[in-house]
Amino acid sequence: MKAVLITPYGGANLGDAAIQEAVIYNLRARMDGVGIRMATLAPERTEALHGIPSFPLTALEIPHYSEGIRARLLPQRPSHANADPTKADQSSWRSQAKALLRKMPWIFHVLRSGKQILRTCIGFPGLLFREMRHLIAAQHFARGADYFIVSGGGQIDDYWGGPWGHPYTLMKWSFLARLTGARLVFLSIGVCSLQSALSRQFVKSALRRAAYRSYRDEISKRLLSHLAFTLNDPVCPDLAFSFPPARARVQAPPRKERVVGISPIAYLRSNWPKQDGSTYDAYMRALTAFAIGLIRRGYAVVLFSSDGADWHPVHEMHAALLAMPEVNHDNLRSVLPTTVDELFAVLAQVDVVVASRLHGILLAHLAHKPVVAISYDRKVDTHMAYMEQTSYRLDIHSVDAAAIDRTFQDFLGQTKENSRSVSASSARLSELVASQYDTLIQA
């Protein structure tokens, strides 16, 4: 059997990496000689990481989806030492001009729309040529495939890139599946945002062509209930629950002090599709104040990321803590994992995790670590409910240091009970995902 895994993943998001590793592991464990390929947003990097032949998922350059993906994969440590003051001035001038125009919405929208229309008219012939060339190359890449597997994650989504981002990409690859005679499978996918009517049409076209569809939670399925053909589709937990257990639970050397891992998210920061500096700043202040309190009480703090997009918040928080005279530098460090195994090595060294990204939380649970989840999205709330951990969920929009500390203190009185609960829930959900692979293979 041959399968092509379809995922909007570029190597930096370790949750997506864990999902792909899990699918590869489980297909190989059940089928001798299975041939696996991947269609991703950064094929050179994903091929190096996973040892799987990879192909570009799209030929389009879409902001917040595929635009400048190589530059976003592994951002460099922020440095102002070699900054070009001329470029800084130009950037400042542009920012001021945009701010001024936003105060005149009608003019701003007219100018922006005119710019987009002009770009489209000039670039359309080249765009059409690239799409046709990509379609032909993709057909050649996927030749002989038995399955196209849309492999987990929140793939029903237009928040990142709009309708011409992943909704269009899914529609195109569903067409390719029909063209090559492969069975199209949507495996434990999440439904996030479908704000555009065009996105909904693209997604409907892709889902209708599928031989099998499942959703990672009930709410995701419910959001597609207007599509009658999805009503009998199953719900099966996130594919990351099928990650190899031996790799998820790493043995760490014994330590004297208690260690808390904190993983900030770049939610609503400048690299997010929508920005809200006040919410982001309040969240970072709350985490920083909480970390200061921990270090004062003798805890060690490890700052870490589960996505390359969060490297900047880690740097910002680390710098803010180092500037505090009361912070013992020996009790503070930051780690920026670039592989799933590196992330699990970090998780092995901590006792409790405070995180916001879904898979930063989920992978910590797989490592049997209790988590305080500072939720920014419905999918995080759903995961905490699945794990029976809703008591340890806070809202990112209203969180403060006192609330984080109260929730953390609740942990301390129930650490063993929490660890047992997390282990039992992880095992239960892992069994459900394993049975889905068996069903798929038998079919």
**pLDDT of 441:** 84
DSSP per position, 62-82: -TTTTTTHHHHHSPPPP--TT
**pLDDT of 115:** 55
Q: Are residues 256 and 387 in the same domain?
A: yes
Q: Are residues 222 and 263 in the same domain?
A: no
In this structure, how many other beta carbons lie within 10 angstroms of the beta carbon of residue 393? 19
d(CA 286, CA 311): 18
Domain end position, chosen among 170, 202, 236: 236
Q: Are residues 254 and 273 in the same domain?
A: yes
d(CA 226, CA 231): 9
Q: Are residues 201 and 273 in the same domain?
A: no
Averages of pLDDT over runs of 10 residues in the chain (443 residues) are: 96 97 96 96 96 95 75 42 42 52 51 55 72 93 96 96 95 96 97 95 98 97 96 97 92 86 97 95 98 96 97 97 93 97 96 96 95 97 96 97 95 81 93 93 79
d(CA 386, CA 235): 12
What lies within 8 Å, CB to CB, of 375 at 6+ separation is 356, 381, 384, 393, 394, 395, 396
d(CA 96, CA 19): 42
CATH number at residue 363: 3.40.50.2000
Q: Which residues pair with 158 in a beta bridge?
A: none
**pLDDT of 127:** 77
Report yes or no on 119 lying in a domain. Answer: no
298: left (phi over 0), alpha (psi -120 to 50) or beta: left
**pLDDT of 411:** 82
Q: Which domain holds residue 374?
A: 245-428
87: left (phi over 0), alpha (psi -120 to 50) or beta: alpha
d(CA 440, CA 443): 5
Domain end position, chosen among 210, 236, 262: 236
Q: Are residues 309 and 411 in the same domain?
A: yes
Does an H or E element contain 12, and which? none
Domain end position, chosen among 201, 217, 236: 236
d(CA 235, CA 97): 49
Q: Are residues 202 and 267 in the same domain?
A: no
Q: How many domains does the chain have?
A: 2
Report yes or no on 76 lying in a domain. Answer: no
Contact yes or no for 425/371 (Cβ under 8 A): no
